[in-house]
Amino acid sequence: MIPAMPAHAPPSRPASVAVLRFGRFTLMGVVAVLILIAGVWASWGTAQHVMLTKGRERGTVDVVRCGAETCWGRFAPVSAGAQPRSRVVLERSVAVERGRTYAVVLKPGGAEAVRSGPAGVLYAWVPLGGALLLASVVVAGGLLRTRAAWVLALSGVALLTAAFVTV
């Protein structure tokens, strides 16, 4: 036996520690993926109308009046086959003001409109930006993957900043 070598091998970790660690990584991975799926799901409800405009009525809305949660005004069509409407409802946000005109896409089967163009696309994906930020915390703390967490966090911040600047 060589004097520098121990007489016996160092004790290995018990199997239960490895199982618990694997369980934690699995659970935190599932939580992070569910957060991201929820962000995409919440964003897609509006984003589909803004991004897939073929066959939808496009135009502009002159906002005449605003309530607590919605604004409304006259719809002037831009796309072929779109009909002018005297009242179209637009979700009220910090970026919608009375007296301004916005490019919109009408949701099928109603008088509800969503903003179109770059501002509308970025605004539609804001829930995903929040989900990216939240998932980055789970990835950093639960999975101990700091680089991946930084990528998620910076992606979320970039998306939210771009939406804020364009809207």
Q: Long-range pairs for 119-123 at CB < 8 Å and ≥24 separation?
A: 119/95, 119/163, 119/166, 119/167, 120/50, 121/47, 121/50, 121/51, 122/159, 122/162, 122/163, 122/166, 122/167, 123/46, 123/93, 123/95, 123/163, 123/166, 123/167
The Cα 118–Cα 129 span in angstroms is 16
Q: How many CA atoms lie within 13 A of 121 on its CB side?
A: 6
How would residue 111 be classed by pLDDT, with cut points 50, 70 and 90?
confident
Q: Which residues contact residue 7 at a Cβ distance below 8 angstroms, ignoring those fewer than 6 apart?
A: 1
pLDDT, mean over the chain: 90
What pTM, to 2 d.p., does this model score?
A: 0.82
- Name the pLDDT band for 12 (thresholds 50, 70, 90): low
According to DSSP, the β-strands at 85-91 and 58-66 are unpaired
For 67-99, the pLDDT digits (tens) are 889 999 999 999 888 889 999 999 887 678 888
CA angle 130, 71, 106 (to 5 degrees): 75
For residue 98, the 8-state DSSP code is T
106 — pLDDT class (breaks 50, 70, 90): very high
**What separation in angstroms does the CA of 45 have from each of 38, 78, 80, 115, 124?**
11, 23, 24, 13, 8
Per-residue confidence at 17, pLDDT binned at 50, 70, 90? Answer: confident
What number is the average pLDDT over the span 103-123? Answer: 90
Q: How far is CA 156 from CA 38, 76, 147, in A?
A: 14, 35, 14
The per-residue pLDDT for 55 is: 86
